[in-house]
Amino acid sequence: MTTQTTFTSTITTIERHILEEQQSHPEATGVLTNLLYDLALAGKIIASKTTRAGLAEILGEAGDTNIQGEEVMKLDRLADRTIFRLNDHTGRLAVMASEERAAPINIPDRYRAGKYVLLYDPLDGSSNIDYNVSVGTIFAIYQRKTSEGRGTLDDCLQKGRELVAAGYLTYGSSTMLVYTTGAGVHGFTLDPSVGEFLLSHHNIQIPKNPKYYSVNQGYEENWSEGIQRFTHYLQGREGLGTALSLRYIGSLVADFHRNLLAGGVFYYPAEKEKPEGKLRLAYEAAPLAFIAEQAGGYASDGAQSILDIQPESLHQRTPLFIGNRDLVKKAEGFVRDYDQ
Ligand code: P6P
């Protein structure tokens, strides 16, 4: 495996790339391949709406709140519904779960249940939509654990180590889809003139030399001593040769994506009043952790790999440190030395 991202010159669509990946798995039946196609299509549809989010009929709040108690932007609901309706009838999924819905989403009785489980955050960072800040979709795919019938909550509560595939879409200056099936991380950029995701970043590897650290420093007073000291370390105040630059967008996918390509660490730590942090384990931290590890990075809750955490509930939160392996390990060291 090369030690750096290679930028491609040939034209490879995501469909062809996924098919080529499938061909390296003789046991593959094509179901996962088609599931990934469907998610790419969902991304194109969502992208077509987010790039028009400035229009009055989409902007603004849908008037109600989701199970997180947050105002639901119309795009949140559109993204959620798009992913659900593209996947509810295909016979590929046993069950789905969304950040927008309290309970797992059953496959309607009139459709066959399949062997995969799809967890997704349909539009992460949506509070930024009104300000034209990049937002994203995150997805996690597992094999079902139950053997037949409709999938269950247990099928949704699997460790990230069991992930079969994970990815995200980022809707920004361009629309990108980044995914892994455990054979490296690959990035595709949407060419809107032809409506195709074209391979633009083959085998993404997080640069060994970090450039950025990403954290909402406005909460520093609420952090533990270990996290405060880790942050001072990143600023070059406690032994790091050169200080890193602070880049924080406040949209997880955008912050993660920049650090994946440029090198750096993102963290949303626990706070004194929020010991579980803010971000969600099942459909935010775990899929991004799988991607980070596949790109040579690492993700932790401050004590252990995110991928080793057994979820107890669907919307469980977790502190998250993710990106450059050495820096995340350093964070674990500060937590161990000052917070235990
Ligand atoms: P804060 C967006 O609302 C989000 O869920 C993530 O996308 C982002 O990383 C985080 O919250 C930002 O939270 O507290 O810094 O505004």
Mutation test residue for ligand 1: of 66, 73, 120, 124, the one with most atoms within 8 Å of CB: 124
Please report which helix (H) or strand (E) contains residue 122, including its range.
strand 116-124
pTM for the model stands at 0.93
CA–CA gap between residue 184 and residue 166 (Å, rounded): 11
Strands 105-106 and 93-98: antiparallel
Centre of ligand 1 to C-alpha 283, Å, is 14
What dotted CATH number matches 212-339? Answer: 3.40.190.80
- How many CB atoms are located within 10 Å of the residue 274 CB? 14
Res 9: pLDDT: 62
**Which residue owns the Cα nearest ligand 1 atom 3?**
125
Centre of ligand 1 to C-alpha 251, Å, is 6
CA–CA gap between residue 309 and residue 276 (Å, rounded): 13
Q: What is the pLDDT of residues 156-211, one digit of tens each?
A: 999 999 999 999 999 988 999 999 999 999 999 999 899 999 999 999 999 999 99
Q: What is the pLDDT of residues 280-331, one digit of tens each?
A: 999 999 999 999 999 999 999 999 999 999 999 999 999 999 999 999 999 9
Mutation test residue for ligand 1: of 221, 251, 281, the one with most atoms within 8 Å of CB: 251
Residue 52 has φ and ψ, to the nearest 5°, of: -110, 15
Q: From the options 3.20.20.30, 3.40.50.150, 3.30.300.210, 3.30.540.10, give the CATH code of 14-201.
A: 3.30.540.10
User: What letter represents residue 142's amino acid?
Assistant: Y
Centre of ligand 1 to C-alpha 253, Å, is 10
CA–CA gap between residue 160 and residue 291 (Å, rounded): 11
Strands 264-268 and 212-214: parallel
Residues within a 6 A CB radius of ligand 1: 124-125, 127, 216, 250-252, 255, 268, 278
Centre of ligand 1 to C-alpha 225, Å, is 22
> Looking at the predicted structure, is the pLDDT value of residue 144 above 80?
yes
Mutation test residue for ligand 1: of 252, 256, 273, 279, the one with most atoms within 8 Å of CB: 252
Q: Give the domain ranges of the chain.
A: 14-201, 212-339
Res 271: pLDDT: 94
